[in-house]
Structure 1
Amino acid sequence: MVVLIHSGEHSVVSSSQNDPDQSDMSFEELLQMQSDARARVCKQMTSGKKTSKPTKAMVKQQQGKKGPLEMSAKKPVPFLRQVVSVRKKVHRDPRFDDLSGEYKPEIFMKTYSFLDSIKKQEKEMVQKQLKKCRNMEQKEKLQQLLNRMTQQEQAQKKQQKLRERELSLKRQQRELAKQGKKPFFLKKSEKRKLELAEKYAELKRSGKLESFLSKKRKRNAIKDKRSLPSQKNL
């Protein structure tokens, strides 16, 4: 019997009955016999069954819910491989989203009416700074700021009057509908005429109607003069 030491463990290999008596063998023959036995043991250990390939169930068991698919480096990756889809971020603009509610100018103006008093205070502050300022460059900037604030205030008043006029027309239409009459709908040209009439009435109350009409006549005269053919073209 030959005793081999392999990987820190004792491996026992029994000699066959046909092997000669070891007591009659030389030292070189014993070494050769031991080497042959070691080779047979290594061959038996390496000639076992190959490990089976992991099945799809095993692969799924190894992967997490959102983990990437592990591919073997020994095999080429297929062209059409399965890719884990990533959810696309959807940006939401609250100005155009139905979840934010419907825009109603009346409610908006009522909710933020406190801003009008703040704007009025800011305008008065700019006017005071403009009177005290001596630097021409700074004075010009303050004047531009004051003009812009005045224009914004005028535009806001104009929009407010337009909304009030539309509300008045809607009330009239509802009253006619209650009486069983056919409601009327103004055209754009008729709305412009009403707007112009209200503007003239406002200018007349403030005493600026004559100056407005004179400026308008001058503008119309300049337009007519430009439209006339020049002497070169005659």
Structure 2
Amino acid sequence: MCSPQYPVGAAGQSEAQLQGRGDKLSLMSFEELLQLRNSVGTKAYQQMTSGKKPLNHTKPRTKQRPSKQGPLEISAKKPVPFLRQVVSVKKTVSRDPRFDDLSGEYNPEIFEKTYSFLNGLKKREKEIVQKQLKKSQNVEQREKLQQLLKRMTQQEEAQKERQRQREKELALKRAQREQAQLGRKPFYLKKSEKWKLELAEKYKVLKGSGKLESFLSKKRKRNAIKDKRRLPFRKNV
């Protein structure tokens, strides 16, 4: 008896064809069934003998979102990664103009000229605070105004001191430039010499304003406290 020849793609036939071939397979001998399995393959042979449809190995379609704004549905069977970016956020890079090369180099002279209008505003604000301090009768408000006025005065004095220091440095640079033009060797002051000159000028300004004695008395007290701390501690036995 000749063995029937089935094509390799027989597993993809309809149910009626598979059922008809199943009846034919029941009439075949064991040797013929072995030959059929070797010719069509094990998977196709099992599908032919069982009569089941082949499994569809195509990828399942992903679930669509109910709306564009809605979340994407993900299967709960799959493990969630530890670091998962839920919403993509654009990273903002902050830029500090004080330490950025795009802002240019700091020049105190140009800075003072550019923002010189602030001096007039600060002066008017100081006058307003002084008027409010005179009119105010509340103790807490007077204390706050006094602290504000004191801070404004300190800022003003600090600005004047910086201006004086810049003028000294400019005068020193002009003197060095003149010495170089005359063919002489320019002189450069050490930090200790600069400190002595600044201290002498400070004493001169204090003496002119009549505050030198109070300044020296406070300085003596501070030095006495420092010396007292450095003394060894003695215990009475």
Shorter-chain TM range is 0.5 to 0.7
What is the letter of the counterpart of residue 119 of structure 2? D
TM, length-normalised to structure 1: 0.58
Mark the runs of 5 or more structure 1 residues left unpaired by the alignment.
1-33, 53-85
Q: Where does residue 170 of structure 1 map in the other structure?
A: 173
Hey, what's the Cα distance between the residues in 2 that align with 1:146 and 1:168? 33
Mean CA deviation greater in 92-101 or 130-139 = 92-101
TM, length-normalised to structure 2: 0.57
Matched, 1:185 2:188: yes
What is the letter of the counterpart of residue 111 of structure 2? F
TM-superposed deviation, 1:38:
7.2
What is the letter of the counterpart of residue 113 of structure 1? S
1:96-175 equivalence runs, <5 A: 96-175=99-178
Mean CA deviation greater in 101-110 or 222-231 = 222-231
- Equivalent residue pairs, number: 172
1:45-60 equivalence runs, <5 A: none
TM-superposed deviation, 1:221:
5.0
Deviation digits for residues 55-75 of structure 1 (CA, Å, limit 9, x no counterpart): xxxxxxxxxxxxxxxxxxxxx
Q: 1:133 to 1:230 in 2, by over 3 A?
A: farther
- TM-align CA RMSD: 4.3
Hey, what's the Cα distance between the residues in 2 that align with 1:148 and 1:163? 23
Hey, what's the Cα distance between the residues in 2 that align with 1:225 and 1:148? 27
Hey, what's the Cα distance between the residues in 2 that align with 1:147 and 1:161? 21
TM-superposed deviation, 1:184:
1.2
Q: 1:226 to 1:186 in 2, by over 3 A?
A: closer
Mark the runs of 5 or more structure 2 residues left unpaired by the alignment.
1-14, 22-46, 59-88
Q: 1:38 to 1:183 in 2, by over 3 A?
A: same
1:212-223 equivalence runs, <5 A: 212-217=212-217, 219-220=219-220, 223=223
Where has structure 1 moved over 6 Å in runs of 4 or more?
A: 229-232
TM-superposed deviation, 1:91:
3.3
TM-superposed deviation, 1:136:
0.2
| Percent identity of equivalent pairs | 57
Hey, what's the Cα distance between the residues in 1 that align with 2:177 and 2:137? 58
TM-superposed deviation, 1:193:
1.6
Q: Where does residue 224 of structure 1 map in the other structure?
A: 224
